Amino acid sequence: MITQSELKLLFDYVDGKLIAKTNSNTRKIGQTFCSITEKGYLKGSVNGKFYKAHRLIFLYHHGYMPPQVDHIDGNPANNLIKNLREATSAQNNQNRKATGASNIKGVYWHKKSEKWLASIYVNKKNIHLGSFEKIDDAALVATQARKKLHGEFARGNHD
């Protein structure tokens, strides 16, 4: 595992990027550390070990590498230090984007009842928040629950 001091000997941090200060087998001075993964994360190798850039940038600034580093805006390529924060796995999941037909986190169409269902996932349990005729009512209940239970990690509906 690389240390903060080793990292600072090898790279400068400039606007969300790590810029090489030394030549290596894979990088020349001035080159940006990274290639893009299928999911949009930036990654590269240091001393033969692969790292995601956001994890190294967090280490560069804070001196330690937590188990999870969350991108506040949900953009895996935005590695500005102000966009990175330590998170638990659950918090990182709470900050995921909405998926599904409604495009609203926690709101799903239930074909059999022909109603919108609102739910939230807390402590590894799915909690049913209610059934609604209107999608806006389900969205309001789901959003309020996310804000209350997920706090700063509660991603908005269309973020």
**Residue 159 placed within a domain:** no
Angular region, 28: left φ>0, alpha ψ -120 to 50, beta rest: beta
Q: What is the CATH number of the domain that holds 73?
A: 3.90.75.20
**Residue 117 placed within a domain:** yes
* 73 and 8 in a common domain: yes
Q: Which domain holds residue 106?
A: 98-153
Per-residue confidence in pLDDT tens, the chain, 159 aa: 899 999 999 999 999 999 999 998 888 999 998 889 999 999 999 988 999 999 999 999 999 999 999 999 989 999 999 999 999 888 888 777 777 778 888 898 999 999 999 998 888 888 999 999 999 999 899 889 888 888 888 776 544
- Work out the widest C-alpha separation in the chain, in whole angstroms: 63
* 117 and 70 in a common domain: no
- 3-state secondary structure at position 135: helix
* 84 and 13 in a common domain: yes
* 10 and 71 in a common domain: yes
Torsion of Cα atoms, 134 then 137 then 143 then 147, to 10°: -170
Do 79 and 27 contact (CB within 8 A), yes or no? Answer: no
How many independent structural domains does the chain possess? 2
Q: What is the CATH number of the domain that holds 132?
A: 3.30.730.10
Number of Cβ within a 10 Å radius of residue 57: 25
Of 68, 89, 110, which residue is a domain's last? 89
Closest to 141 in 3D by CA, of 128, 152, 126, 151: 128
**Residue 158 placed within a domain:** no
* 120 and 49 in a common domain: no
Q: What is the pLDDT of residue 157?
A: 53
CA distance 118 to 130: 6
Q: What is the pLDDT of residue 76?
A: 93
pTM assigned to the model = 0.77
* 76 and 24 in a common domain: yes
